[in-house]
Structure 1
Amino acid sequence: MNMTTSVSGAVPLSHWGVIRARGADAATFLQGQLTNDVVQLGASQARLAGYCSAKGRMLASFLVWKAAPDDILLACHASVLPATLKRLSMFVLRAQCKLSDASAEVPLVGLAGAAAVNAAGDMPAWQLRELDGGWLLRLPDAAGTPRALLAANQGPGTWPAITLDAWRWLDIQSGVPVIEAPTVEQFVPQMLNFELIGGVNFQKGCYPGQEVVARSHYRGTVKRRMFLFDADAAAAPGQEVFHSSDPGQPAGLVANAAPRPDGAGSSALVELKLAALAGGSIHLGTPDGALLHRRELPYPVPTEADQPA
């Protein structure tokens, strides 16, 4: 069972950044680049989306919302922002769309517990509300803790301060993965459950890697998925994990990790071969590394038993 927390307060999300796409063709340009529908994105909602290579491997993951019909904001991990901005800019060509790093203009603040409830009220997850000079996005709860994202030049306000590690741990508990620099091009979206949490639209049309992503979906050939684990040691994105029955090769990869609030090791989102769940033990870093203890994600994940014969 997941550990319950009483995390409540605000923290500047210095590990995140924001890309701005502005212009008459901004939505249609992004529609041809991302895994989710941007054209039909409503003014009062935010949406997850991935950016893939031609081989269907994720280069970045975004939280996307429209500041205006021709002004779209994409929040992503700061470690992948420069390379992602450069790569996207290469494909703008004649489209009326200007891409820029808007991290300084749109600073992000995470709100948890009472701070999120006070700011967001009863807004459902992924809903968006415009503020004076910014936006408030309701995020999925994590470990029983309400969360919201403030995208505005208001700073953390008068809410109590929480640590960035506490926020990162809540992110892990939410089961919503984030592509960081060590994991670029390591995962097809389904390996990170991205379609299970609303990050992939299979009807929206072409984007880089779309054929690979669609093939995995319609053929039911996903053999690797993301799961939540605790470990009595520090874990890091890009770190390999090993299964006791096959110590000669890695069984998976850490996507995201954060220290546990009780100081007892870390929690991690780990991409893993489904076969590794059948028995034996899973270890962090090396075949004899710290034991990984599986915890429940807040949504169901298909396993090998759910795959077609």
Structure 2
Amino acid sequence: MPEPTQLRLLDWGVIRAQGADAASFLHSQLTQDFALLDREHARLAGFCTAKGRLLATLVGWKHGEDEVLLALPAETLAATLKRLSMFVMRAKCKLSDASGEFAVYGLLGATEAEAWALARDGDAVQIALPGAGRALRVQAVDAPAPTGETITPDDWAWAEAEAGVAWVRGATVEAFVPQMINFEVLGGVSFKKGCYPGQEIVARSQYRGTLKRRLQVFETDAPATVGQEIFNSADPEQPAGVVASTGTRGGRTLIAAEIKLAALESGSLHLGSAAGATLQSRALPYEIPPQD
């Protein structure tokens, strides 16, 4: 395997959960199972409102004795930390912003492991992500940067969209139920664990066949922004979807967008308005299970 390329993700931060109840507290609040979290895997997870809408998406792993770290986009960190802290109550868990202590890197061509497998290098961790060779590396902020050529933020964003992955950003807070961004397909939801905020609605979307929107990947020749609306030519007055992640390369733009499934059946899709740039559908790199 050629040497990996890397990028310091300056738009990511880290929350520390520390205490005897750290894992059990997170288990009660997030969409994934943290009670069974081991040292060889990380967890993709979401933090939802009572209505099942995602406030944040994050990756969590064991860092030390009674300590779990959560990496997530920095633009949702402060609100997530504040809201999680409201529910700690008597749990033996202290939450804090540890972003000043850690550097988060995105790596391409770094691993052949399955998504969410975790490798340790001293205090640093490397977490395999969905998409061929992609990984997240979190290390002490004063440690040397990973070896390998530095890529651009757009290189990384393109690879994220190509992998069919979208993180909740400031523009998309409360925009999605987890399945709308294929979160359960990517390993971000446990349907066997106990209750968490929004659990009933997330479960209902899964088992009652009511999901009418999904994340899909598109290519276009115009720049796009997260949160930008998408329109269908057959129903030009109503938005058909929203951009969830996007990157550019060689004058082209790749978009992972949450879209009405019905909008894929007729007409054409356009960015920003029904007269905007046309979106060309690309295949997802993973399968979406059929609804019952």
Give the shorter-chain TM-score range.
over 0.9
Q: Hey, what's the Cα distance between the residues in 1 that align with 2:106 and 2:223?
A: 23
Name the CA shift for 1:211/1:193 in 2 (closer, same or farther; >3 Å).
Answer: same
* 2:154 corresponding residue in structure 1: 165
Specify the SS of the correspondent of 2:68.
strand
* 1:138 corresponding residue in structure 2: 128
Identity of aligned residues (%): 53
Give the letter for the 2:215 counterpart.
Answer: M
Q: Does 1:269 align with 2:256?
A: yes
- Structural mapping, 1:1-309, within 5 Å: 8-113=4-109, 116=110, 120=111, 122-142=112-132, 146-153=133-140, 154-259=143-248, 261-264=249-252, 266-302=253-289, 306-308=290-292
The two structures, once aligned, show a CA RMSD in angstroms of 1.6
**Bigger shift: 131-140 or 192-201?**
131-140
Q: Hey, what's the Cα distance between the residues in 2 that align with 1:180 and 1:292?
A: 22
- TM normalised by structure 1 equals 0.90
Is the CA contact (8 Å cut-off) linking 2:130 and 2:186 kept in structure 1? no
Q: Hey, what's the Cα distance between the residues in 2 that align with 1:141 and 1:271?
A: 18
Specify the SS of the correspondent of 1:61.
strand
Give the letter for the 2:116 counterpart.
Answer: W
Q: 1:124 Cα shift?
A: 3.1
Matched positions, count: 289
Q: Hey, what's the Cα distance between the residues in 1 that align with 2:93 and 2:206?
A: 31
Give the letter for the 1:40 counterpart.
Answer: L
Provide Cα deviations, 1:164-219, integer angstroms capped at 9, x if missing partner: 21111111111122000000001000111111111100110100001110111110
Q: Hey, what's the Cα distance between the residues in 2 that align with 1:28 and 1:184?
A: 25
Give the letter for the 1:72 counterpart.
Answer: V
Specify the SS of the correspondent of 2:35.
coil
- TM normalised by structure 2 equals 0.95
> Structure 1 regions of 5+ residues with no counterpart?
1-5
Q: Hey, what's the Cα distance between the residues in 1 that align with 2:6 and 2:291?
A: 42
Q: 1:69 Cα shift?
A: 4.5
Q: 1:84 Cα shift?
A: 0.7
**Bigger shift: 28-37 or 151-160?**
151-160
Name the CA shift for 1:192/1:39 in 2 (closer, same or farther; >3 Å).
Answer: same
Moved over 3 A (4+): none
Q: Hey, what's the Cα distance between the residues in 2 that align with 1:93 and 1:237?
A: 35
> Structure 2 regions of 5+ residues with no counterpart?
none
Is the CA contact (8 Å cut-off) linking 1:12 and 1:155 kept in structure 2? no
Provide Cα deviations, 1:77-119, integer angstroms capped at 9, x if missing partner: 1110111111111111111101111112121111212xx1xxx
**Bigger shift: 52-61 or 68-77?**
68-77
Q: 1:8 Cα shift?
A: 4.8
Q: 1:236 Cα shift?
A: 0.9
Specify the SS of the correspondent of 1:226.
strand
Give the letter for the 2:199 counterpart.
Answer: Q
Is the CA contact (8 Å cut-off) linking 1:59 and 1:184 kept in structure 2? yes
Give the letter for the 2:46 counterpart.
Answer: G
Specify the SS of the correspondent of 2:195.
coil
Q: Hey, what's the Cα distance between the residues in 1 that align with 2:282 and 2:144?
A: 34
